[in-house]
Structure formats: structure tokens, C-alpha cells
Chains A and B, each alone.
Chain A
Amino acid sequence: MLEFNNVTKRYADGTPAVKNLNLKIDKGEFVCFIGPSGCGKTTTMKMVNRLIDITEGDIRFDDKSINDQDPVELRRSIGYVIQQIGLMPHMTIKENIVLVGTLLKWSKEKKDQRARELLELVDLPEEYLDKYPHELSGGQQQRIGVLRALASNPPLILMDEPFGALDPITRDSLQEEFKKLQKELHKTIVFVTHDMDEALKLADRVVIMRDGEIVQADTPDEILRNPANEFVEEFLGKDRLIQGRPDVTTVGQIMEGCPVTVQTGTTLKEAISVMRDKHVDSLLVVDMDNTLQGFIDIESINLNYKKANHVEEVMEANIFSVAEESLLRDTVHKILRRGVKYVPVVNDAQQLTGIVTRATLANLVYDTIWGDGMELEEAAATAE
């Protein structure tokens, strides 16, 4: 759909704004460019619709080099939303929305109809068609800016920080709205942003740039899971990495070591004193090799105290355990769904290595929400 082949841009003053950029964007893909100010995002985008000339390399749009196409025609076939919104202050909202239609000489009926259709997409009442841009709020203007880019139904839309100038709440709702819209419209979208949350939320693929070069181009999941280098990590921020972690953390990284156990052959009497000493109401039963056998709890001991002597006689052998390498995300669901208080963790040989309790999960959630990742990182470090 859109292909950058060794694209380089040097401005007249010698500034290399984009260096040897290679990227392939598929049809229907939503790609976010993100990076620090001045890293060449806008330059990259404007080269696509030839508002800026390419110094070296080639950009192909639908398998045709953009340099072989008339720039005016090309721009009419690519939607463009700029950061400053850029509505024509002297035109009504209707005229603004169907500006491309005017340039393409659509009939009045067609323009009227298209304007109404589009306005419906963003739930603005029809009266707005005859208003002027300055009569609209910033968020409303931005919506119109997006509609304008959609007017001629272009397969590709370029958006340069379209929600940058909005307050967080309006931005959030516009993002939601836009994401919904994108699901319906299936456009290919190239989206520039400063805001990592926005990128992670909207994009199929995030392209992280620095100094005119691509540092990493991957799905949001993959970027959170495997940041290419320190720059990406720093750019993501520690908080986000922790938040991203439940997705990729294994049980082994967060489990607590040394669960309270008893060996097979222990008498019930001894087991009870262990419970009392450790203030627990159930014990994991292991054999000599530390292989998990089952568990006993205070209730079953109580019921069988008279009849039995050893723990293996009363223990429940049918015990739910998880492997060290299983994903925390899945384990959390299981724990919550089964309503169990804890889950023993075993290695490949079924040997007990740790335990995940509801308290462990509570700590994890606490760290994620309040951002103090100390325990988490320590656990991760020891696990490594």
C-alpha cells in the first residue's frame, strides 16, 4: 500500500531530517509514528503527499512511485489532517468538509449529501453545517478536520498529531470515537503523535523514531514486551513497562518462594503444629524430592483426626497447580475464576518451587496502579 525505500530528506540548510528510512505499510493498517520533537515524523508524513520533496530514495503508493504522480492529483487521493486543524475560517463547516469535493468539481447535491453523511459519523447535529469554524469548540473543529480528510473516501489518510492540541478528556473521547470509526471504515492510516498512550491505544503498529531513523517498528504488544533498546524503554517509561508486564510476566517472576510444606510421612499432629507456627490454614504436601503431592487443610484434618495418622491419608491429591513459565495473565484469570486462595507453582518435574496467593496478586495490582515496581522488579531479578 505504502512503501518507503531508503528515503532520505535533507533540508536546504543541510539538516538531515530523515535518514535512509525503510518501511512497508499494509492496506488497512493503522501505523503510529512516535518520537521526540524534531525526529522527522512530520517530514516523513509530508513526503508522502509531496508537500516536501524527497532528497533520496522512493516512496511507493499503491505500487506507483509518488514522484511519477501529479502532486495535486496525489493529494486529492490522500486524506490529510494537520496538527493545527487548519479549517478555512471563511468557509462554512459544510464547505470545509467537502473542500476536496469542490476541488474535484462534485455537483452541489453530491456535496450536500456527503457533508450530511460525514457529520452523522461524529454525531454532530446537522445545524452545524452552516456554522463557521470559529463557532465550534476545539474538539468539534478537530472532528471536522478529520471528516474533511474522509470526504473523498481516500484509501490512505495521513494524520499529524490530530488530537495534540486538545485537553485530555476531549482527546480521549475523540480517540475512542476515531477508533470506532476506523473499525467501520478500514482505512490505511499513518498517524503521528507525541503521546505514547495514544499510539499504544490506536495503532496496529508503532514506529518509534529518533534522529530521522526508525528505532523500532512493531505491534504495541511486542514493543512493550521486547523494547528494542534503552531508548525505547525510556520512551515507554517505567510505569508503562510495568503495566505492560502482566501480559508477558511469567508466574515464576512474581511467585513467592518457600511455601509452607509438609513431607509425606508427617503425622497429623506435627502438621497441626506447623500450621500454628506459620499461621496458615492449609499445607502443601510434598515427597522427599519436593514433588508436589497434594494439600491438606485444617478442615480435613479436623474431620479425620481420629481416623488417620499421616498427612498423605487425608490430603487432597487433586490439586490445581501452574507451571513456572505459564503467563501470569492466564494464572490470574484461573485463580479468580476458581475462587481458590492460592496456587502452587511447579517446575517441569512437578517439583514445588513457589506459590501465588491472592496477596501476591494484590501487591502486583498495587504496584501497577501506584507505579512503585520495587517488589516486582526484585522478584523479576531473582527469577532471572
Chain B
Amino acid sequence: MMEFLAENGNELLVKTGEHLYISLVAMALGVIVAVPLGVMLSRIPKVADRLISFVGILQTIPSLAILAFFIPIVGIGKFPAIIALFIYSLLPILRNTYIGIRDVDQGVIEAGKGMGMNNLQAIIKMELPLAMPVIMAGIRLSTVYLIGWAALAAFIGGGGLGDFIFDGLNLYKPSLILAGTVPATILAVIADRSLAAVESKLTPDGLKDSYEAA
């Protein structure tokens, strides 16, 4: 173990960094795209249900296949890896944003509108804060998945901890496989915990108590 670290420690750090970078960028892109899209979908519930089940079908395509599919289009390297992961991040965030907003108490929405909130105010002051716990759950779920899937990025030259895993598989070196999977798992746990902290920061105070009480 110490031996391994002494030998590969530097590389391990670099790869972990790469791994984190790929996942977080994909996740950030996912949030930037999926949350507004989810809000938009909540305005057209009929289309939304169909679209979400369609995206759900896309999601069942194996990740390796998607990655392979992307090589001819965007080539190999970090960028295509990020694009592929980004697509995977979309569904959970999209679905949770949509459901979170759809399930906000209609009485509250009507009161807000009746008080004279315009559309933007309704979204920012009312719907997003109230849907926040559900949206954050989607983001957390998708982040944990992404960190796992990011290992596959190595397959198209994206780098990251997947490099260790593939090398280990090719060279029949279990220690390399472990060197890839253990840090990836730790990363996933850390990411989840820190997002939980973010979630409790973003969740409005009034909701926290009622969630505890519920």
C-alpha cells in the first residue's frame, strides 16, 4: 500500500483531480440546463410527461455505447467525456425539478399569483425555494452516479481514475483496479455529503422544521 502510494501517489492525485473535474463540470452543466428546462416543463405538463419518459428511455442506453457513439462526433478526450456524462446527469435533475415544482402546493401558487406575483417572481420567490429539497435530491443522485460513470471516461481518453481501472484490467493488476475504485467511491461519498450541506443551506428555514416535524 505505502509502496504503491510512493510509486503512484502523484499520479493518483492528478487522476483523482481529473476525475473530479470531469464529473463536476458535467454536473454543473446538467444543473444549468436541466433546472431551467424542468421549470419550463412544469408550465406544459402534457408535453412534460412524454418528454421525461422519452429521456428515460435514452438513459437506458449503456453508457459505454453512448461514449462510443460520441467518438466519431466529437472525437476523444475530456470534452466528449464531459458531454456524455452531462447527458446522463440531465434526467434525474430534470425529473426532480419538474416533479418538485409540479408538487408545490397549488394553494400556495394560487395565493402567490393572486397577490400579484409575475411569472418570474413566482418561480424565484416561490416555486424554486419550495421545490428545493426535491431538486437537490435529484442533483445529489445524479452527482453520485456521475462520479461512478466518470470512470468510463478513460475509455475515450478522458482521463480520470478510470485510467487506473483499465490499466489494472489490462495488466491483471488488482492493486491498480483498487487504486481507481476506492478513491472514486470516497469522492462520491464526499460529494454527496457536501451537497447535503449545500442542500440544507439552500432549503428555506420554514421548510426545514416542517420536514423534521413531518
Which single member of A83, A92, A148 contacts B206 (CB below 8 Å)? A92
The reply to whether B209 and A135 contact each other, CB–CB distance below 8 Å, is yes
* Contact flag A89-B108 (CB < 8 Å), given A132-B206, A133-B206: yes
* Contact flag A76-B115 (CB < 8 Å), given A90-B129, A92-B206, A132-B210: yes
The reply to whether A91 and B110 contact each other, CB–CB distance below 8 Å, is no
Which single member of B111, B129, B209 contacts A132 (CB below 8 Å)? B209
Taken residue by residue from 107 to 140, chain B's Cβ proximity to chain A (1 for < 8 Å, 0 otherwise) reads as 1111111111110010001100110000000000
* Contact flag A100-B111 (CB < 8 Å), given A90-B129, A90-B204, A134-B209: no
The reply to whether A51 and B110 contact each other, CB–CB distance below 8 Å, is yes
Q: Chain B's interface: helix, strand, loop or mixed, by majority?
A: helix
* Contact flag A90-B130 (CB < 8 Å), given A132-B206, A134-B213: yes
The reply to whether A51 and B114 contact each other, CB–CB distance below 8 Å, is yes
* Contact flag A148-B209 (CB < 8 Å), given A84-B105, A86-B105, A89-B108: no
Taken residue by residue from 73 to 105, chain A's Cβ proximity to chain B (1 for < 8 Å, 0 otherwise) reads as 111100010111111111110000001101100
The reply to whether B115 and A82 contact each other, CB–CB distance below 8 Å, is no
Interface residues on A, range: 20 to 34
A sample of 25 inter-chain contacts (CB < 8 A) reads A75-B116, A76-B115, A82-B111, A83-B107, A84-B105, A85-B107, A85-B111, A86-B108, A86-B112, A87-B108, A87-B111, A88-B108, A88-B126, A89-B108, A90-B130, A90-B204, A90-B207, A99-B115, A103-B115, A132-B205, A132-B206, A133-B206, A148-B111, A148-B115, A158-B114
CB distance from A35 to the nearest CB of B (A): 21
Which single member of B107, B121, B209, B210 contacts A82 (CB below 8 Å)? B107
B109 proximity list for chain A (CB < 8 A): 86
B207 proximity list for chain A (CB < 8 A): 89-90
A84 proximity list for chain B (CB < 8 A): 105-107, 110-111
Tell me the chain B residues, 193-214 only, with Cβ under 8 Å from chain A: 204-207, 209-210, 213
Known contacts A84-B106, A86-B108, A102-B125; can you find 5 more A-B pairs with CB under 8 A?
A75-B116, A82-B110, A84-B111, A134-B209, A134-B210
Give B residues with C-beta under 8 Å from A. 105-118, 121, 125-126, 129-130, 204-207, 209-210, 213
* Residue ID in chain A nearest B213 by CB atoms: A134
**Complex alpha-carbon distance, A158 and B116, angstroms:** 13
B110 proximity list for chain A (CB < 8 A): 51, 82, 84, 86
Give A residues with C-beta under 8 Å from B. 49, 51, 72-76, 80, 82-92, 99-100, 102-103, 132-135, 145, 148, 158
A73 proximity list for chain B (CB < 8 A): 116
Give me the 3 closest cross-chain CB pairs, A-B, nearest first: A84-B107, A86-B111, A90-B204
**Complex alpha-carbon distance, A80 and B112, angstroms:** 10
CB distance from A94 to the nearest CB of B (A): 12
* Contact flag A75-B115 (CB < 8 Å), given A84-B105, A87-B108: yes
B113 proximity list for chain A (CB < 8 A): 51, 75
A80 proximity list for chain B (CB < 8 A): 111, 114-115
The reply to whether B117 and A103 contact each other, CB–CB distance below 8 Å, is yes
* Residue ID in chain A nearest B107 by CB atoms: A84
CB distance from A44 to the nearest CB of B (A): 15
B213 proximity list for chain A (CB < 8 A): 134
CB distance from A143 to the nearest CB of B (A): 15
A134 proximity list for chain B (CB < 8 A): 206, 209-210, 213
A103 proximity list for chain B (CB < 8 A): 115-117, 121
